[in-house]
Amino acid sequence: MESAAVRILSRRMVRPTTTATGNGHCRPQKEDVEVIHLTPWDLRLISIGERGDGTVTGAELVHTVAPEVAAGDIVSSLYTPVVWDFYSFNEVLGADAAVSGDLPVVSLALFAALLGGGASDGAAVRIVSRRMVRPSPPTKTTTATGNGHHHPPKEEDDDVEVIHLTPWDLRLISIDYIQKGILLPNPPVTGADLIEAMESSFARALVRFYPFAGRLAADERGDGTVTVSLRCTGEGAEFVHAVAPEVAAADIVSSLYTPPVVWDFYSFNQVLGADAAISGDLPVVSVQITELADGVFVGMTLNHSVADGTAFWHFFNTWSEIHRRGVDGGELSTPPPVLRRWFVETIPVPIPMPFPKLHDIVKRFDRTPVQECFFTFSSESVKKLKTQANSEVAGDEVSVTISSLQAVLAHFWRAVCRARRLPPEQETFYSVVVGCRGRLNGIPPGYLGNAMVIGKAAATAGEIEKRGLGWTAKLLNRAVASFDETTMREWLERWAMAPDFTYMDNLSSAGTAIVTGSSPRFDVFGNDFGWGKPVAIRSGAGNKADGKATVFEGPDRGGSMSLEVCIAPDALARLVADEEFMDAVSSPAGRPAGVMRG
């Protein structure tokens, strides 16, 4: 089968130009046909015992071209890209040739690639360079573990700090890396000068966040259990320079729909957190600086088992301030992270998971086709939804206050039920991330790691449509309020006894669920690297499933919000055409392209 990148020009059968014979044991069965009987070594690999003979019709010769594939695409990454498409007979068994009687036993593909300067990770995005950036100055090398649980590392690791992962961390090792990034105006310098400066400030930010320069390690203990830790080896984080001279800011921000090229602004697409622990040498952080026609996109990829969205943007805020102000250390206004992991006192550290190998928890799924839209709600629109929701629940026996976010998400939930054309009796779910910082003693605001649980609201599509915005928002309010310190501690203890993991296929529940991550409280648009605040925020391909909605602060800040919505194409088309939903949406999320030019 041809792929989008590889096109087949011709196939032909090539016959020998001279007569071939055996090696002394030739037993011609017919006058002009030589028969070679297969040995046990041969038959063991063919999975069929039939005997037969046939004429030699030749070997297959295939001519293909892939003008958008460069040599660097093949050799510059740990991961193997489009290479499978360089071969014929993919997933064809040896027995298939014997059964059919007419399949050739040899096929040669002549592959013509564009061996140009640099790798091309997409038609519009070209990778110029990849390198590992280590913290500068060198990383700390003392030993640290959990919250009062001091467990020295193995003797051979005496000079490497080991951070054991918590239940919050381990639960997310089965999903993709986090991928978030910002679109910036044109910088005063470009090319090598820009990249050198960005790399320098990135290395200085890694000093504070030195665990991000480490590597995950899985310890298969031989007793049927496996543990995972983050080793602060200082090997570095990946730093990628890319160019996309034919992509303009307007291509990204001028439409409700997110263009596919945005996914090429990130590394490690569809790489799971567990892949890094299994390999032992994949970085846990990668940043890609992509120079556009009239701006720069800074995309960051982070292993979700290492940290959550709060820690992600904490690092981003630190990096941008270092670059903008040219300072670091105690001169930074962004507070330093708290590196010590927090564990409930009753669970073992490290946590032994009941699997012989980490491979046993990995599941890979077909990625259902989805489309993305970016909807922005102005501060006035958010206030209007919040006022409406609170007025609708004002007379309820149990008094609640609907938040701005709950009102926006309730409005979205109701619209998605309509867009999906769910029958009234169909149960639908909404999962929201509930942060543990501030809800659990011992988890400070600057905690570097994962500190969140998932609150789940459920109702039928008919109830959501009939009972209105306030009732729907109240379901979300209850889902969040159901978590307090006691329930969170209990959840952590249960997980350590019976680990369960988050998987891509359970994010959407066959098109009946929604899951929302991130937060409008994250300081996205404060990431000024010194030549202007971000123009837009967009995320990569990581964890994109039908029903995924990511919330951000709006570009105008001041209470505005944006929703990056990922659902099936037919449902998304109906959502965009839903007047009730779109009445609350302002213009496409982003400023006019003119602001990009300096």
Mode of pairing for the β-strands spanning 452-460 and 371-377? unpaired
d(CA 407, CA 412): 9
> Residue 530, Cβ neighbours under 10 Å: how many?
15
Eight-class DSSP state of 78: S
Secondary structure element (H or E) that encloses residue 569, with its range: helix 569-576
The Cα 195–Cα 343 span in angstroms is 39
Chain centroid, CA 130 distance in Å = 19
Give the Cα separation of 158 and 142 in Å (integer).
8
Kindly state the DSSP code that residue 478 receives in the 8-state scheme. H
| Tokens (6 digits) for 316 | 């981003």
CB 160 within 8 A of CB 215: no
Residue type at 363? K
For residue 50, the SS3 value is coil
Give the C-alpha separation, 172 to 449, whole Å: 11
Place of tokens 């291509």: 251
What HEC string does 410-463 produce?
HHHHHHHHHHCCCCCCCEEEEEEEEECCCCCCCCCCCECCCCEEEEEEEEEHHH
Pick the catalytic residue: 157, 219, 328, 528? 528
Closest CA to 182 of 591, 594, 598, 597: 591
Contacts of 88 (CB under 8 A, 6+ apart): 60, 62, 107, 109
Three-state DSSP class for residue 466:
helix
Q: Is 150 a catalytic residue?
A: no
Sign of the C-alpha dihedral, residues 28, 34, 35, 36? positive
Q: What is the dihedral of CA 40, 43, 47, 48, to 10 degrees?
A: -110
Element (H, E) at 96: helix 94-100
CA distance 66 to 261: 19
- Cα–Cα dist 490/104, whole Å: 62
363: helix, coil or strand? coil
Instruction: Give the span between the Cα atoms of 501 and 486, in whole angstroms.
Output: 21
Q: What does the alpha-carbon distance between residue 568 and residue 566 come to, in Å, rounded to a whole number?
A: 7
Which candidate in 304, 314, 323, 411 is catalytic?
A: 304
The two tokens of residue 6 are 């590889």
Q: Are 535 and 395 in contact (CB under 8 A)?
A: no
Annotation says 528 is catalytic: yes
Residues 204/334, Cβ–Cβ less than 8 Å: no
Strand 427-435 and strand 513-517: the pairing is parallel
Residues classed as catalytic: 304, 528
